[in-house]
Structure 1
Amino acid sequence: MRVIRKYANRRLYDTQQSRYVTLEDLRRLIIEEEPFRVEDAKSGEDLTRTILLSIIIEQEQADSEAEVFSNDLLAQLIRVYDMTSPLPLSRYLEQGTQLMLEQQKRLQSQWKQAMRNTPLEFMRELAEENMRFWQNTLNQPGQADESSDAEQPESDSNDTSKDNKPSS
């Protein structure tokens, strides 16, 4: 894993290439799926999240047409941090974004082979994949309480069948 050191003067130093880098250089590493870790040059503290957030801020400010985070969405995210029992938002965002990226790659690949399958068939497959993803996501641990509630009526129906036996 590539190590980037952040110095007190806010400069970033790529230890692998022995040169100073910019946030744009790090953005390119992300796009190229090159793993890296940003650490404080003095303490060794992991600053990767802070730098990743800085890259997002730069991108949001650079191109208002490519805005991903609206003011309303940002306000909602801030409210999530204030909840007494925060939602497992990170997991949903990661899985949802990964699914979206995979489908985008798949769509581009299918577009290149456009007439091999009909576009309608491809859209049906995407819709089914989305349904499976969200069903699996929503049925992961933490949903056990709801599934046990769903089983309750079945046990009640078994009890009533015993009551329907003729009494002596």
Structure 2
Amino acid sequence: MENKTPETHAAHRVIKKYPNRRLYDTTTSTYITLSEVKDLVMKSEPFEVLDAKTGDNLTRSILLQIILEAETSGSPMFTAPVLESLIRFYGHAMQGFLGGYLEKNIQTLIDTQTRFAEQTKGFTPEMWKQYTAMQPPVMQAMLGGSLEQSTSWLAQMQEQMQKQAGQMLGAFGINNTK
């Protein structure tokens, strides 16, 4: 997580991770489990996990542990090919762009889900029956916009990378136009 000002930092729940792998919630003054940290995520409660000894921010590491647990139990979200593709991005020129790309697409999906929940709040059982009968076209229409946004963002990213590569090569006296 990014650095916080004292006012913002106070709004965050601080969880300390001790060498014995235990997590201590400083707000409730109790030890908590990884499952309880997951509950904080599900409730959108802001928190950060700090190493009790060094003060290093371990939030990402704990979030990755939660994902790993979820992936190994129940129905995994990521297939082996998707995970392999993610691994291949590490060290690749596109690594820096992938995080932002995924973040924007997930936010678009969350926004779509929120709009959908608002629109279906008053559905009766009969309305749900009608909805499920026409689900594929409705889902396609709802997700079509996010797919177009994703494609547009990817094209912009590629164009930006080409410009940056051209500028970098130009600085070395290399003309990359063909």
> So what's the TM-score if we normalise by structure 1?
0.71
1:2-151 to structure 2, matched below 5 A, reads: 2-63=13-74, 65=75, 67-86=76-95, 88-114=97-123, 126-127=142-143, 129-130=145-146, 133-134=149-150, 137-138=153-154, 140=156, 143-144=159-160
Percent sequence identity over aligned pairs: 38
Structure 1 runs (4+) greater than 4 angstroms displaced: 118-125, 139-142, 144-147
Bigger drift between 96-105 and 78-87 goes to 78-87
Amino acid in structure 2 at the alignment position of 1:95 = K
2:17–2:52 contact (8 Å) kept in structure 1: yes
2:105–2:146 contact (8 Å) kept in structure 1: no
- Structure 1 residue 109, shift from structure 2 partner: 2.1
2:71–2:78 contact (8 Å) kept in structure 1: yes
> So what's the TM-score if we normalise by structure 2?
0.68
Bigger drift between 136-145 and 91-100 goes to 136-145
Equivalences, count: 143
Change (3 A) 1:23 1:127: closer
- Structure 1 residue 20, shift from structure 2 partner: 0.2
- Measured in 2, the distance between the counterparts of 1:123 and 1:57 equals 29
Change (3 A) 1:145 1:85: closer
Amino acid in structure 2 at the alignment position of 1:107 = F
Amino acid in structure 2 at the alignment position of 1:82 = G
Segments of 5+ residues of structure 1 without an aligned counterpart are 148-168
Amino acid in structure 1 at the alignment position of 2:19 = A
- Structure 1 residue 131, shift from structure 2 partner: 5.3
Amino acid in structure 1 at the alignment position of 2:89 = V
- Measured in 1, the distance between the counterparts of 2:85 and 2:140 equals 32
Change (3 A) 1:104 1:30: same
Structure showing greater Rg? 1
Change (3 A) 1:145 1:109: same
Secondary structure of the corresponding residue to residue 120 of structure 2 = helix
- Give the alignment's Cα RMSD to 1 decimal: 2.8
Secondary structure of the corresponding residue to residue 61 of structure 2 = helix
2:109–2:146 contact (8 Å) kept in structure 1: no
Segments of 5+ residues of structure 2 without an aligned counterpart are 1-11, 164-178
Change (3 A) 1:36 1:56: same
